[in-house]
Structure 1
Amino acid sequence: MNQDFSADRPISKQIEDKFQRFEFAKRVATTINNRKNEDCIVIGLYGAWGEGKTSLLNFIESELLKNENILCVKFNPWRYTDENALLNQFFQKLADTLDSNLKTKKEKAGEILKKYGKLINFELPGVGNVGETLANTGDVLDIVDVEVLKGRLEEILKKTKSKIVIFIDDIDRLDKIEIHSIFRLVKLTADFSNTTYILSFDEEMVSAAIGERFGQGDQRSGQNFLEKIIQVPLKIPSAQPESLKDFCLEIVENAINSNNIEITQEEIRQFFYQFTTNILVRLDTPRLAVRYGNSISFTMPLLYKEVNIVDLLLIEAIKIFYPEFYSFIKSNPSLFIAASNTTLGKEIQESRQQQLNDLGKDYTSSQKASALRLIQQLFPIRQDDTIFSSFDKNIIDVWFKNKNIVSPKYFNKYFSYSVMKGEISDIVFQNFIDEVISLNRDEVNHALKTLIEQSSPDNLLYKLRSIEQEINWEKSKKISNSISDISDLFPSYQKSLFLSFGAPKSQAALFVYHLIRKHDNKEEQYQFSKELLSENSKFNFAYDLYQWLKEKEKDDYKYFTNDEKIELENILLDKALEESKNNSIFEEFPDYANDLFLIWINKEKKDLHKYIKKILDKNPKALLDLIKIYIPTATSTAVKGPYKSDFSEDNYNYFISLFDKNYIDKIVNKIFSKNELDSKEVRWTRMHENKQDDINIIRQFRYWFEKDISSIDSNLNPL
């Protein structure tokens, strides 16, 4: 047996990225590249074992290496057996990197770093004073103050305009003493200017290990310790909120300005109200403000124009100031996302409220109330006396248009920090809408095809429908023409009795109809409708569009005159005949054949009969396809899928009102012999387990035909 196993190893190439994290890593790298502040900063990349932290580090490093002024150092502390080796190798590796990359006239940065590493006063259990131990070897030639050496090193870094990015992975594989050593190294000993640390670990595991050594000995103590070390915590992917009123608002404003985020006065007002009402109550340290500022500085560029900016600022505030509530929301989207066709029963309402109350046990009553108000702002719930009521579809459409977090289409974006596969980027979509007027027809076709390939026909139509009232007539014509050109990319659900009207093809036609309907010039409405039906559109799409235009007319408003309708219907008939080619129109378009026959009869019934005679004379068995058009399609729990039921007397009478019954009977005799037809009695599906077949369909026709002829004979020869 051949067994092909996939290696459990980190990846480093974009082409290997199956979880859509490369763009996130790229934006993280860009942010580090553009950072102006020279202070050392520590970024924490949080994720469970096996979640892809090392792969994400590889992506970030590959992007940073494109900048020749950035030096990357990767350090894995798990490879070293004790604290002594860990610290020694850290400074050795950093020194080697500086020596090989920073060229200075006077002295090498690496040499300074080696001396610095030997002089640091860093005592470890069982090892003693590392600096003293190393100094006794005689390697330190000059006794120089630690801060002087650090200053000389930082001066070199500033002069060379270099930045150092140090990656430390697998911290969660160390024991609690080694974990503390790493954090102490980063924060107290190696916090050099122009240096960025990216530390990768499982937050829960590390905080639990650290908590055993500090504070109350619990995980919360460990989390508090981590907050002092990690200035920018990122989950895979993740970030956000904090600070005292003016200080925090200044940080927020700086974050907005530095990332070139456009925000309106109304959006500022909305955020400021929620900030002063529901966030300030939890803002008790400057560190919270810095963490919030650092967090939104990372998330806003990732999601700018992809989500509602105010909702993003507020959900990030919940993450920093009310983390338990944030986790509950993220893990229970069904309790928060708006839906037009569902209701939340009283039991679910009470369960949700109880869970929210349980989450707030560590908060004061004021803080808990603020958290719940903030959640209500982001996830508005309409209530009556007994249940959470379902929402009106119009308000859900508004939430979608505004990119609110409560919208089912946007909720996940706020937590994934990226446009996931199958979604359409709002930036790309808006650029298309803005530029469509300047594009030629082929370019519009290509743009729409690309959006469909990146997402789906349903998602594209959902976005188009959300802005249809804002699309002017010139843009409407361009988009409509292109949808018509590429209508084959919008599938139909022909095997479903109930879903066909909700199929993308029908919905695409409905969208184009809406664009035509809202135009206020009837002559232009008609001419453009005629153009759409005449040109590149396929028959199926043209037919659906005409049906929407015809069915949505009202007594007090008609889109077309009777003569215009006849002209449009004749265009449809000609298009169907052209596309059917060697097949008959009832074989090629069985769902539309009856309407086409009626159009033809209104035009000239004799021509229809000639057409049918030509088809059936050449291929008598095509009669079965013709008759099946007039047999109802049924469903039953006893039969898998839709099936043809009985050719009833009403069906027969309607059928012979369109076609010559005597000619049809002659064709029947060409398909089946009299012996074949008489070998069994006619069967009716309702009495025979819903079973139907071709010869029985013909027997049903003959049953009504013979009854019809017998009735005529009786009338001609009364007793």
Structure 2
Amino acid sequence: MDDLGFADDRPIEAHDQDLLGRSTFAKNLAAAIAGWKNKESLVIALTGAWGSGKSSIKNLAIQEFAANPSHEVIEYNPWEWTGQEKLSSSFFNEVSLAIKRKDKSEDGKQLAKVLRQYGRKLSAGAVLMEGFAKYLPLFLGSALVTSYLSVWAENPVAQTVMAVLSGGSALAASAAALKRLARFLSDRAEGLDQSAKENELTLSEIRGEIRTLLAKREHPLLIVMDDIDRLSPDQMKALFQLVKGNMDFPNVVFLLLFQRDIVEQGLELAGFKGAEYLEKIIQAPFSVPALSTERLEAVLFERLDAILTNEPQLAGKFDTDYWTGVYRKGLSQFFHNLRDVYRYTSTLAFHCRLLRGADVAEINAVDLFALECLRTFAPASYDAMPQHKVALTGSGLLMRQDQTEKGRITDIVQSIVALAPQDYRSGAEQIIKQLFPTLDWVFKNTTYDGSTHGRWLRESRVCRVETFDRYFELALPISEVSNSLLHSLTLLLPDSERFCDILRNQNESQQKTVLERLESYVDDFPLEQSSAVVETLLNVGEVVSGRESSITSLSPPVQAFRLLRFFLLRHDDPATRSGLLLRAFENAKGYLVLERLLSLEASSRREAKPTDLDDAGFEQLKLMFVTDLLAQANHNPEAFIAHWNFISFVHRLNYFADGAGSQWIKQQVTTLERFVLFAEAAVNKGTSYGGNGPSAFYFVRIATLDELLGIETCQGWIEKIQRAELTEPARQAIDLVEDALGRHQRGEKSDYD
């Protein structure tokens, strides 16, 4: 395995690589082979499922067997050859070459020679009979081929064929077909002639010599054939016929490796009764020893530990209790052999590196481990999950929690599970239910409060819509806020200037997301530096992009207010909270955030609800807010009127300081330019819903004009306006003010008045 965890999935070669305790079995198998000495061959089968370790056991057994220099091992790969004649010829040629290379004795050289001759004769006979089967109808009726028969009629194999043919009846043949037959016989004649020149012995005589030479050997010849289950049915048939036809050779041990059910099915397709046929050939059947769950898990966990060691960002937040539950209920059902472990961990390490993050992990390690298991073993289920993000994360705005919705979500989960292979469906279902507690209301009738959802977000769980996509895109989306940025901002909270500089460089959407995500980190804000943190959060409201919140979305300043309030509530004493705000506001004039805090406090007091501040602190804060805001307004009246939150500010001044807001407007709106700014500030935005979907509309409330400046004053300014000199937004604002004044004169009231 390399540093990324990729495994080559090749069988082990030596005992020191054995992780599963198969060495003892392999040694015993090698000893049994070495002790074989009999007048016939021994055929051993080692069977097991794909990935169960057959080839590894074979390698260990061969290493043990070949430790004795006098032991000879020949590994023959039958799937490299096709056709009966090529299989026979290649087999004996391979065995011949191996003996010639390893055994330099005279007997060894002679054995190599006769094996090669034997293979050629078998090959020639097989080709000849195959050709006659093809051309038999033509051959029997043709006088044209007589001249060719004389070329090879004296060959022993040919004589046998002619004896068979002599009993046939004559059939007619076309001239073209007879010519093809003639060419076939001519080609075969050359090969048979060469065979005759090499040795005039018959097949029976050659076999006898092979038996004699093999019987002289002190140790058995081990012939290994692996991957038999890769062969086609016809190739399987040819291979087992080859083994069966040569089982009478002494001191030869065949070691055959295959997955039994696949070979039995292949032999059935080739016309045999698979199981019965194997029983006639295999004398010593062995199965790969059963693999204990404990051994396999030890290998899996060792590789997972190695991955986490290389990824400290993931290891630092790894939830062992959560992992134990997810593994035992779901992942454990997917691992049956080492190949499963290697397939899984090879790509897991790579994906961990992709999502490790700069400072902290961008994902939850347990969730990634579990989803990688689905991606590896149930890829169709994994691929289907992004299509159902809303259902899985429970993020639909209008999602109902009723029986109809339960049925719909249950069907979605079952459809995802059904895409997994049959053996993995139970595990896939358990993984989905473990990773998405947002589905517990469907399957357990259990719901969770906001703090739990906040914890899931802080832990970057896949069940949160904010982090869901990165598990399937296997990268951090470009527009998404990274955990590393949030981590950095949390550390920078005591440094107001640097914190605000980072936020200032984000667009409005990113600012909103950052502040929203930071809510789940409030418990990590440093209490020992509370004064600096409060000062920073007050300043945040002034540097982020300002706009009013909508029904479904909070503005960045409101998000900043929420962060500050949640942090203050970590202090149990209301007086402590007030003191923190008073000291911070002296340095950080965070009018937007403080206005919302004071408004909430005032509302709670009116409604006799629990309050966040003590009475004395609340009164001091109101006074400081009013005094400083009016000073700011007087310093630059045009900028104050143009502020997007101007109307809210003056209402707050009215409430906290007996109409101070209206008084300021009447004193300062003394020019057409300032009245136009006032008109633009008074415009409200609404949304209507019709058959074509939502649409925006704009209006001015009569009460706003009356309370802040007065109806008559507004009417007077409207009469002085020169519309041609106005910008388009200004012209629209003046039109809306004039429309509101017209409604007032007519005694009409709209829904928003």
Q: Which residue in the other structure is 2:422 paired with?
A: 363
Q: Which residue in the other structure is 1:577 paired with?
A: 633
Name the CA distance, whole Å, in 2 between partners of 1:644 and 1:265.
Answer: 51
Q: Secondary structure at the match of 2:697?
A: strand
Does the CA-based 8 Å contact 2:318-2:364 persist in structure 1?
Answer: no
Q: Secondary structure at the match of 1:644?
A: strand
Greater Cα radius of gyration, structure 1 or 2: 2
CA change 1:537–1:311 in 2 (3 A) is same
Does the CA-based 8 Å contact 2:537-2:563 persist in structure 1?
Answer: no
Consecutive unaligned residues of structure 1, counting only runs of 5 or more, are: 1-30, 43-121, 126-143, 146-212, 217-223, 225-241, 674-690, 705-719
Measured after TM superposition, the shift of residue 395 of structure 1 is: 3.2
Task: Establish whether residue 427 from structure 1 lines up as the match of residue 479 from structure 2.
Answer: no
Counterpart pick for 2:390 among 328, 334, 343: 334
Q: Which residue in the other structure is 2:366 paired with?
A: 310
Measured after TM superposition, the shift of residue 322 of structure 1 is: 2.5
Q: Which residue in the other structure is 1:85 paired with?
A: none
Name the CA distance, whole Å, in 2 between partners of 1:539 and 1:466.
Answer: 24
CA change 1:329–1:244 in 2 (3 A) is farther
Name the CA distance, whole Å, in 2 between partners of 1:646 and 1:514.
Answer: 34
Does the CA-based 8 Å contact 2:392-2:439 persist in structure 1?
Answer: no
Counterpart pick for 1:301 among 333, 336, 353: 353
Q: Which residue in the other structure is 1:446 paired with?
A: 501
Name the CA distance, whole Å, in 2 between partners of 1:330 and 1:270.
Answer: 23
Counterpart pick for 2:522 among 464, 468, 485: 468
Does the CA-based 8 Å contact 1:243-1:287 persist in structure 2?
Answer: no
CA change 1:215–1:359 in 2 (3 A) is farther
Q: Secondary structure at the match of 2:384?
A: helix
List per-residue Cα deviations over 1:122-146 (Å, max 9, x = no partner). Answer: 9999xxxxxxxxxxxxxxxxxx99x
Counterpart pick for 1:492 among 538, 546, 555: 546
Does the CA-based 8 Å contact 1:620-1:670 persist in structure 2?
Answer: yes
Compare relative contact order (CA 8 Å, sep 6+) and give the higher one, 1 or 2. 2
Measured after TM superposition, the shift of residue 457 of structure 1 is: 1.0
1:450-599 aligned at under 5 Å gives the runs 452=506, 456-494=510-548, 498=551, 502-537=554-589, 539-552=591-604, 555-557=609-611, 558-561=613-616, 563-578=619-634, 580-582=636-638, 585=641, 589-598=645-654
CA change 1:278–1:667 in 2 (3 A) is closer
Consecutive unaligned residues of structure 2, counting only runs of 5 or more, are: 11-78, 83-100, 103-229, 234-261, 263-293, 721-733, 748-753
Does the CA-based 8 Å contact 2:500-2:540 persist in structure 1?
Answer: yes
Q: Which residue in the other structure is 1:204 paired with?
A: none
Query: Which amino acid is the alignment partner of residue 356 of structure 1?
Result: I
Measured after TM superposition, the shift of residue 414 of structure 1 is: 1.7
Measured after TM superposition, the shift of residue 410 of structure 1 is: 1.6
Does the CA-based 8 Å contact 1:243-1:288 persist in structure 2?
Answer: no
Name the CA distance, whole Å, in 1 between partners of 2:468 and 2:400.
Answer: 18
1:396-435 aligned at under 5 Å gives the runs 396-434=453-491
Quote the sequence identity (%): 13
Name the CA distance, whole Å, in 2 between partners of 1:280 and 1:702.
Answer: 77
Does the CA-based 8 Å contact 1:506-1:541 persist in structure 2?
Answer: yes
Measured after TM superposition, the shift of residue 621 of structure 1 is: 7.3
List per-residue Cα deviations over 1:334-391 (Å, max 9, x = no partner). Answer: 332233742472552353245235324x423xx4222211221112354668999876
CA change 1:349–1:504 in 2 (3 A) is same
CA change 1:321–1:595 in 2 (3 A) is same
Q: Which residue in the other structure is 2:240 paired with?
A: none
Does the CA-based 8 Å contact 1:346-1:387 persist in structure 2?
Answer: no
Name the CA distance, whole Å, in 2 between partners of 1:353 and 1:35.
Answer: 33
1:226-305 aligned at under 5 Å gives the runs 244-260=296-312, 263=315, 267-304=319-356, 305=361
Q: Which residue in the other structure is 1:106 paired with?
A: none
Higher helix share: 2
**More divergent stretch after superposition (300-309 vs 557-566):** 557-566
Counterpart pick for 2:409 among 346, 349, 371: 349
List per-residue Cα deviations over 1:625-652 (Å, max 9, x = no partner). Answer: 76898898766569963333663xx778
Name the CA distance, whole Å, in 2 between partners of 1:696 and 1:269.
Answer: 65
Does the CA-based 8 Å contact 1:492-1:505 persist in structure 2?
Answer: yes
Query: Which amino acid is the alignment partner of residue 390 of structure 2?
Result: S
List per-residue Cα deviations over 1:647-682 (Å, max 9, x = no partner). Answer: 3xx778x73xx77x7xx7478557538xxxxxxxxx
Q: Secondary structure at the match of 2:696?
A: strand
CA change 1:576–1:374 in 2 (3 A) is same
Measured after TM superposition, the shift of residue 308 of structure 1 is: 1.4
Task: Establish whether residue 642 from structure 1 lines up as the match of residue 692 from structure 2.
Answer: no
Measured after TM superposition, the shift of residue 577 of structure 1 is: 1.1
List per-residue Cα deviations over 1:258-301 (Å, max 9, x = no partner). Answer: 44566489834543454344334332332221122222222223
**Structure 1 length normalisation: TM-score?**
0.52
Measured after TM superposition, the shift of residue 615 of structure 1 is: 3.2
Does the CA-based 8 Å contact 1:621-1:671 persist in structure 2?
Answer: no
Name the CA distance, whole Å, in 1 between partners of 2:350 and 2:331.
Answer: 20
Q: Which residue in the other structure is 2:85 paired with?
A: none
Measured after TM superposition, the shift of residue 312 of structure 1 is: 1.5
CA change 1:524–1:575 in 2 (3 A) is farther
Does the CA-based 8 Å contact 1:283-1:321 persist in structure 2?
Answer: no
Does the CA-based 8 Å contact 1:444-1:478 persist in structure 2?
Answer: no
Name the CA distance, whole Å, in 2 between partners of 1:363 and 1:414.
Answer: 24
Query: Which amino acid is the alignment partner of residue 445 of structure 1?
Result: C
Does the CA-based 8 Å contact 1:292-1:317 persist in structure 2?
Answer: yes
**Structure 2 length normalisation: TM-score?**
0.50
Measured after TM superposition, the shift of residue 466 of structure 1 is: 0.5
Name the CA distance, whole Å, in 1 between partners of 2:580 and 2:637.
Answer: 27
Q: Which residue in the other structure is 1:182 paired with?
A: none
List per-residue Cα deviations over 1:130-186 (Å, max 9, x = no partner). Answer: xxxxxxxxxxxxxx99xxxxxxxxxxxxxxxxxxxxxxxxxxxxxxxxxxxxxxxxx
Does the CA-based 8 Å contact 1:457-1:504 persist in structure 2?
Answer: yes
**More divergent stretch after superposition (471-480 vs 693-702):** 693-702
Does the CA-based 8 Å contact 2:378-2:419 persist in structure 1?
Answer: no
Name the CA distance, whole Å, in 1 between partners of 2:306 and 2:666.
Answer: 80
Q: Which residue in the other structure is 1:672 paired with?
A: 719
Query: Which amino acid is the alignment partner of residue 389 of structure 2?
Result: P
Q: Which residue in the other structure is 1:615 paired with?
A: 668
Q: Secondary structure at the match of 1:244?
A: helix
Does the CA-based 8 Å contact 1:493-1:503 persist in structure 2?
Answer: yes
CA change 1:573–1:398 in 2 (3 A) is same
